[in-house]
């Protein structure tokens, strides 16, 4: 018998001073049986950073042709494609061909470092791609906040990201490994 996805609900209060974006979002996420809390929470973190009324979760691990998150315009053109983890270089190239902007949020400490070293030369040629690496402390801190029902406050200001629930606040440390060409 196949395992079913676990449903998580999150109420997000986002105060993004960098984009002048202040909104509340109620999201429902399905966590695939093979997905960890850490990966799911990095997806939620990416949602908060790019929050928009047109941003939505893709089918994730169960679909090869969809990203973890994406934002389409009213005509169906993909404005933003977001991958979480350590995607295959061919998948990244394909995403860059389909979307105006592609973001990768990598995490995993040493594994992420090895992935970047192995893929850096090929990935650096892609002009519409950004790669952000989350520190191990940050991604594991996100995982600790995972609950079936969550209320989270994201504050984004001066390059810093703070995430709070009712009990604790964590600062998310991220390093930009690659920015789009021309930025």
Nearest-angstrom CA–CA distance, 58 and 48: 15
Structural domains of the chain, ranges and CATH numbers in brackets: 7-178 (3.10.640.10)
Task: Give the pLDDT band of residue 65 (cuts 50, 70, 90).
Answer: confident
pTM: 0.93
- CA-based angle 65:31:110, to the nearest 5? 80
- Give me the pLDDT at residue 33, please: 87
- Give the mean model confidence (pLDDT) for residues 26-54: 95
Predicted confidence (pLDDT) at residue 100 exceeds the cutoff of 60? yes
Task: Give the pLDDT band of residue 61 (cuts 50, 70, 90).
Answer: low
Task: Give the pLDDT band of residue 63 (cuts 50, 70, 90).
Answer: low
pLDDT in tens, 140-171: 999 999 999 999 999 999 999 999 999 999 99
Lookup result for tokens 């047109």: 54
Predicted confidence (pLDDT) at residue 112 exceeds the cutoff of 80? yes
CB–CB of 23/45 below 8 Å? no
- Give me the pLDDT at residue 62, please: 58
> Mean pLDDT of all residues in the chain?
93
Say what percent of the chain tops pLDDT 90: 87
pLDDT in tens, 44-53: 999 999 999 9
- Give me the pLDDT at residue 4, please: 85
Half-sphere exposure of residue 55: CA atoms within 13 angstroms, side-chain side: 19
């Amino acid at each position: 018998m196949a395992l079913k996805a676990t449903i998580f609900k999150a109420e997000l209060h986002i105060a993004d001073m960098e984009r002048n974006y202040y909104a509340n979002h109620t999201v429902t996420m399905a966590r695939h049986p093979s997905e960890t809390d850490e990966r799911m929470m990095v997806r939620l973190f990416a949602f908060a950073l790019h929050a928009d009324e047109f941003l939505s979760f893709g089918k994730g691990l169960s679909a090869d042709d969809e990203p973890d998150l994406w934002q389409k315009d009213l005509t169906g053109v993909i404005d933003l494609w977001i991958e979480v983890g350590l995607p295959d270089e061919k998948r990244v190239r394909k995403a860059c061909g389909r979307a105006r902007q592609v973001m990768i949020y990598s995490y995993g400490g040493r594994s992420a470092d090895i992935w970047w070293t192995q893929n850096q030369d090929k990935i650096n040629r892609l002009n519409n791609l950004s790669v952000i690496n989350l520190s191990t402390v940050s991604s594991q801190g996100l995982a600790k906040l995972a609950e079936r029902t969550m209320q989270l406050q994201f504050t984004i200001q001066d390059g810093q990201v703070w995430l709070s629930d009712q009990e604790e606040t964590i600062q998310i440390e991220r390093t930009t490994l690659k920015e789009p060409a021309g930025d």
